[in-house]
Structure 1
Amino acid sequence: MTEQTQRPVPQSPMEREADAHDSVPQPSASRETADAAPQAAVPVSPSLPVAAPHPAVSRKDRRVLRAGLRWAAVAAVFCLVGAGTAYGISRMERTDLPGLATASDGRWDYPELVRPPLPSGSPGPLEARNHAGTHYADLRALVLPAPRGATVERGPRGTDGWLPVKDFLADYATEENRRALAQKLTDHGLRHIAARGWTTPDGTRTRIRLLRFDTAAVSENLLAGDLANTGAPAYPVRGAEYYALDETFPPGAHMKGVTLFPYTEAEPYGAEQVRQAYFSAGDTIAVITQTRKGGVDAVPFRQTVALQTELLS
């Protein structure tokens, strides 16, 4: 019997789909099988560096890190304090720094100057509307106070604080000069003399005399015509015979409206040197005299003249 070749019977589409589904391996439900299955390796590009794993930070390393941060904070604080101190020093005056104070230039330590109040509506002596140059304030309150540390001379007694004319004349050298000067003062209508004197620890004796007249015209005429000139004072005081005009007197000390003649006793002088200044401000003439054994310092003399000028202006 002849064997017949059996041809495969074609499968329907549904049968082919079922066979394909049976041929796909199904995942096992067992956990051991799932854990044992190898995971797919992720390919690493040779051009990209692989990050090294971070090592675990030990407790010791954390202590070192905290200590370093504390020292950094301390250093920052010191830098801030140092910068602030440097800035503060740069803003201070040299005389405020211990060990760097500038040596004194010889000026005296005067108290703060305060002008006495004027009567209501009264002008100052150098104001344009004050044609007579009258000092409406009490002249005794316009005398320069003594510097700190000085020994103040006793004021005149029994004259309400005004200096007697005879005491003023006693500063001048000869009897002839005293008589002539007394007559000049009488002729020009002298009203009052306010005065103050003191001696500083270095031995400098200062005498200030403020002579008040009726008007500024009278005081200026007496000063420039009879008391002082560009060469020397007309009436030398005791202890000084030869004078020279102090041409080195600072220009800043010359105030507008004030006529000033500063003198210094020329060498050779005796045991004491004399410096003297005459100036007029309004209705008043100021006579400032300083004497000192061995020589009068220029700085305190000019300071005294400038401050007295300021009070009378």
Structure 2
Amino acid sequence: MAAAEASAEASPWAAPPAPPKDRRALRAALRWTAAVAVFAAVGAGVAYGITVPERTDVPGLSTEGDGRWTFPKLSQPALPAGAPLPQGPDNKDGTHYAQLTGLLLPAPRGAGADDAVKADKDGAVPVDSFLEEYAPEAREKLKTSLEWDGLRQIVGRGWTMPDGTRTHVYLLRFHSSGFVDAFKGCDANAQLNGVSALDLDDVWSKAKGTQMNSTALDFPGAAYFDGTDLSVYQEMKPVTGEEQTKVGCLRTGDVLGMVIQSRKGEVAPVPFHQTVILQSQLLS
């Protein structure tokens, strides 16, 4: 990531245009809204019942100094002529026709490049390089799965923040959504390199659970947020080594998004959840 791009002066919260309002698109938007509500509760320490923001608004946050990063303005890449949106009524499988690298979340202001993500000049990541994120004993089985289960392309981006937080973001495009669901490399059982074991992210889960059960709940669509499209995990304590790792798994149509964040001591919840939500928004 070039320094100029990482330090771009722009609002970090500008959202891409809303897709057509068919029922499936509405359900996806509601799941995103619920995720935003969780982030608002975690990041700002406000009451858990909040009013739904517009998709172009700040995701429920106004408090400065809560640890959020500043990202460049988000925008989705142009579609090929005549291609439908991922959530369009004429796109039943949620296929992403846009250039995959254009859907990658850009690095935030102040970030430096992390060369551990071995992407070429076009953002493409070889399968073997991606599999370095996993324990050596898990790689062969995952490679076979990717070869047989419809993988088309992997793109990635990595950055490091001044506090030592390292973020790796990958997008895996498959031939259909069924292959995305079949891939077992992004769940609680994933064997990541140098990570003891994964469990549900306790901060995210607590905020989501409180939001779902709150009598003050005042945003629509909470019942649609079942965690199957966006799952968030953390390394169980005691961690292996000095760093903790957290993982976000985003399944949307034919694309699997994977956010891996590591930091000495503990991964801060706010920028991690922020990164996961914004990457999810770009894929919606």
User: TM-score w.r.t. structure 2 length?
Assistant: 0.66
Residue 185 of structure 2 aligns with an amino acid whose one-letter code is: L
The CA deviation string for residues 153-177 of structure 1, in whole angstroms up to 9 with x for no partner, is 357466743101111011111x220
Contact 1:258 1:281 in 2 (8 A): no
Equivalence for 1:289: 260
Equivalence for 1:259: 229
Q: Give the 3 Å change call, closer, same or farther, for CA 159–147 of structure 1 in structure 2.
A: closer
1:265 shift after superposition: 1.0
Is the counterpart of residue 122 in structure 1 residue 89 in structure 2? no
**Structure with the greater relative contact order (CA < 8 A, sep ≥ 6): 1 or 2?**
2
Equivalence for 2:185: 227
Contact 1:239 1:272 in 2 (8 A): no
1:218 shift after superposition: 1.8
1:242 shift after superposition: 2.0
Give ranges in structure 1 of 5+ residues lacking alignment: 1-100
Contact 2:72 2:108 in 1 (8 A): yes
Equivalence for 2:108: 147
1:119 shift after superposition: 2.0
1:138 shift after superposition: 0.1
Which residue among 172, 178, 186 is the counterpart of 1:211? 172
SS of the residue 1:169 aligns to: helix
Equivalence for 1:7: none
Equivalence for 1:168: 130
SS of the residue 1:209 aligns to: strand
Contact 2:243 2:264 in 1 (8 A): yes
Contact 2:203 2:269 in 1 (8 A): no
The CA deviation string for residues 54-109 of structure 1, in whole angstroms up to 9 with x for no partner, is xxxxxxxxxxxxxxxxxxxxxxxxxxxxxxxxxxxxxxxxxxxxxxx965001001
Equivalence for 1:246: 201
SS of the residue 1:261 aligns to: strand
Is the counterpart of residue 237 in structure 1 residue 192 in structure 2? yes
Equivalence for 2:4: none
Equivalence for 1:133: 94
The CA deviation string for residues 263-296 of structure 1, in whole angstroms up to 9 with x for no partner, is 0112111300000111211101111100000110
Percentage of pairs with the same residue? 43
Q: Give the 3 Å change call, closer, same or farther, for CA 109–197 of structure 1 in structure 2.
A: same
Equivalence for 2:219: none
1:122 shift after superposition: 1.7
Q: Give the 3 Å change call, closer, same or farther, for CA 247–273 of structure 1 in structure 2.
A: closer
Kindly tell me the number of residue pairs found equivalent between the two proteins. 206
Equivalence for 2:277: 306
When the two chains are superposed, the root-mean-square deviation of aligned CA atoms in Å is 2.5
Q: Give the 3 Å change call, closer, same or farther, for CA 102–188 of structure 1 in structure 2.
A: closer
1:256 shift after superposition: 8.9
Residue 214 of structure 1 aligns with an amino acid whose one-letter code is: H
Contact 1:115 1:311 in 2 (8 A): yes
Is the counterpart of residue 202 in structure 1 residue 158 in structure 2? no
Q: Give the 3 Å change call, closer, same or farther, for CA 109–159 of structure 1 in structure 2.
A: closer
Residue 193 of structure 2 aligns with an amino acid whose one-letter code is: R
Equivalence for 1:186: 147
1:237 shift after superposition: 1.2
| Stretches of 4+ aligned residues off by more than 6 angstroms | 252-258
Whole-angstrom distance in 2 between the partners of 1:186 and 1:296 = 33
Contact 1:276 1:289 in 2 (8 A): yes
User: TM-score w.r.t. structure 1 length?
Assistant: 0.61
Whole-angstrom distance in 1 between the partners of 2:256 and 2:149 = 12
Residue 292 of structure 1 aligns with an amino acid whose one-letter code is: R
Residue 140 of structure 1 aligns with an amino acid whose one-letter code is: T
Residue 152 of structure 2 aligns with an amino acid whose one-letter code is: R
Q: Could you say which structure has the larger radius of gyration?
A: 1
Is the counterpart of residue 279 in structure 1 residue 250 in structure 2? yes
Contact 1:239 1:274 in 2 (8 A): no
Residue 107 of structure 2 aligns with an amino acid whose one-letter code is: A
